[in-house]
Copies of this chain bind each other. A is one copy, B any other.
Amino acid sequence: MTVELISVGTELLLGNIVNTNANYLSKKCAELGLSLFYQITVGDNENRLIDTVKTAMSRSDIIILTGGLGPTQDDLTKEAVAKALGRKLVMDEHSRERILKYFDRISYDKQDNQIQKASAIASKALSKITDNNWKQALKIDDCFVIDNDNGTAPGYIIKENHKIIFLLPGPPSEMIPMFEQKMFPYLKETQQKVFISKMVKICGIGESRAETRILDLIEKQTNPTIAPYAKSGEVHFRITASADNENTAESMIQPLLKELMNRFGDNIYTTSEEETLEDVVVKLLQKQGLKLVTAESCTGGLLTGRIVNIPGASSVFTEGFITYSNESKMKYLGVDKKTLDQYGAVSEETATQMVKGAADTTGCEAALAITGIAGPDGGTKEKPIGLVYIGCYLKGIVTVREYRLRGNREKIREQSVIHALDLLRRCLMNMS
């Protein structure tokens, strides 16, 4: 079946944001074995939008629209699709209820007394909901409404003589979960062939080097296919096999998967689509019943921020230090003044004392410390921008690694975080 993507939003045409939704949905269509022939981006203009939808209807089986479902004046997607299909917009009570509930929470804000009747809350909420929000409770006549658990604008699935139209909200944080949970399974069922894919996630090796290492596999690929995806500091390879049933597809993937395992060994941290590097590290800590403490200098909280983003991180993480100045490194981590004077804050010696100090003062069995020069200033001939030392402490054993990273301040900090997580992963698996 053929798919057409329509991204709606003047901000895309003005170049204010990059169209990552189109890239995400393209990958998903490829994963499903759907033929995507056209990606269209059109602004918040009703007539152009109607034309675009009609053209798509004339040449594609499945049409996926993203954006323009919000409450504001220039959110026109639903209205335009309705007109293109010659359908009415009708009030959807269920959506209306959800919007009301959604705003209930805010109405609490100004309440001193938390105990009150639902009706009172409701009326209070109503009074706070601006009229334009009710626009989001309107649905196209005779369609499935898909609840939005991360925003107020629902999604929609519309069937029109053998064609399927999907309407999804624009913000990736709303669009992606909705597509994953509702649209993806729905599309999967429309496909006769089964597609199984594995994501091989690699860190500690650059993209081009990783790709050269399996160039022969990439060149002779047919089914299963193998496609690289670069991610800041990581490389992901997706292996996809298509067959009549899951077992066959699964068994077709195995040899290639094994081959990648052989070639990349412990650089592979997972083969699961969902699992992130921090997931793996937190699970390893949980399994080994260890608590982690962090001490960050140049990354200033980014590392810990990623660990804490995992639900249940509290079982392995209780505290962390952001020691940006030399004084704070001495005060909280017990780094010697002598060490700082003699070797500098960005040195193997300081990293060692930082990570030992963090472990000692908190009694944690695992610790990570990062100190480096992220730039744009502070680089010297001996200690250039991008020089980073990462210390890992595990049950008394300290491992420190030196890294020379490239890119701007943000990139250097991001890569430092990934290297730190990877170093701890290796130590936890006795691979360092």
Name A's B-contacting residues (CB within 8 A): 10-20, 22-30, 36-43, 45, 48, 52, 55, 70-74, 102, 105-106, 108-109, 114, 130-133, 149-151, 171, 173, 177, 207-209, 211-212, 215, 218-219, 227-230, 232, 238, 294, 296, 298-305, 307-309, 311-314, 317-325, 327-328, 331-332, 375-377, 382, 384, 386, 402-404, 406-411, 413
Q: What is the distance, in angstroms, from A133's C-beta to the closest C-beta of chain B?
A: 6
Q: A309-B413, A319-B322 are in contact. List 19 more A-B contacts (CB 8 A).
A: A12-B39, A15-B25, A16-B229, A18-B19, A22-B41, A37-B45, A38-B48, A39-B41, A40-B40, A40-B41, A70-B230, A105-B404, A130-B208, A130-B209, A130-B212, A132-B208, A301-B301, A301-B308, A313-B324
8 Å CB contact of A318 from B232, B309, B313, B324? B324
Contact B150 A408 (CB under 8 A): yes
Look across to chain B and name the residue whose beta carbon is closest to the beta carbon of A385. Answer: B105
CB within 8 Å for A300 and B307 given contacts A177-B408, A322-B322, A411-B173: yes
Residues on B with C-beta less than 8 A from A305 are 299-302, 305, 413
Residues on B with C-beta less than 8 A from A70 are 207-208, 230
CB within 8 Å for A304 and B318 given contacts A16-B229, A41-B38, A102-B406: no
7 A-B pairs with the lowest CB-CB distances in the bound complex, closest first: A300-B308, A301-B301, A15-B26, A15-B27, A320-B322, A319-B328, A301-B304
Look across to chain B and name the residue whose beta carbon is closest to the beta carbon of A375. Answer: B311
CB within 8 Å for A37 and B30 given contacts A305-B299, A318-B327: no
A309 CA / B300 CA spacing, docked (Å): 8
Contact B300 A320 (CB under 8 A): yes
Residues on B with C-beta less than 8 A from A232 are 171, 173
Residues on B with C-beta less than 8 A from A150 are 407-408, 411
Look across to chain B and name the residue whose beta carbon is closest to the beta carbon of A39. Answer: B41
A28 CA / B13 CA spacing, docked (Å): 10
A177 CA / B171 CA spacing, docked (Å): 32
Contact A18 B20 (CB under 8 A): yes
Look across to chain B and name the residue whose beta carbon is closest to the beta carbon of A177. Answer: B408
Contact B407 A173 (CB under 8 A): yes
Q: How many copies does the complex hold?
A: 2
Contact A229 B11 (CB under 8 A): yes
Residues on B with C-beta less than 8 A from A114 are 382
Residues on B with C-beta less than 8 A from A308 are 298-301, 322, 324, 413
8 Å CB contact of A108 from B23, B301, B404? B404
Q: What is the distance, in angstroms, from A148's C-beta to the closest C-beta of chain B?
A: 10
CB within 8 Å for A230 and B404 given contacts A23-B18, A208-B72, A212-B130: no
Q: What is the distance, in angstroms, from A2's C-beta to the closest C-beta of chain B?
A: 11
Output the residue of A19, A151, A303 with the most chain B CB within 10 A: A19
Residues on B with C-beta less than 8 A from A48 are 37-38
CB within 8 Å for A321 and B318 given contacts A19-B22, A72-B208, A173-B411: no
Residues on B with C-beta less than 8 A from A325 are 314, 318-319
Residues on B with C-beta less than 8 A from A11 are 227, 229
Residues on B with C-beta less than 8 A from A402 are 109
A311 CA / B408 CA spacing, docked (Å): 11
Residues on B with C-beta less than 8 A from A40 are 38-41
A389 CA / B228 CA spacing, docked (Å): 43
Q: What is the distance, in angstroms, from A121's C-beta to the closest C-beta of chain B?
A: 12
8 Å CB contact of A26 from B12, B29, B298, B322? B12
A46 CA / B169 CA spacing, docked (Å): 33
Contact A230 B171 (CB under 8 A): yes
Contact B36 A13 (CB under 8 A): yes
A149 CA / B177 CA spacing, docked (Å): 44
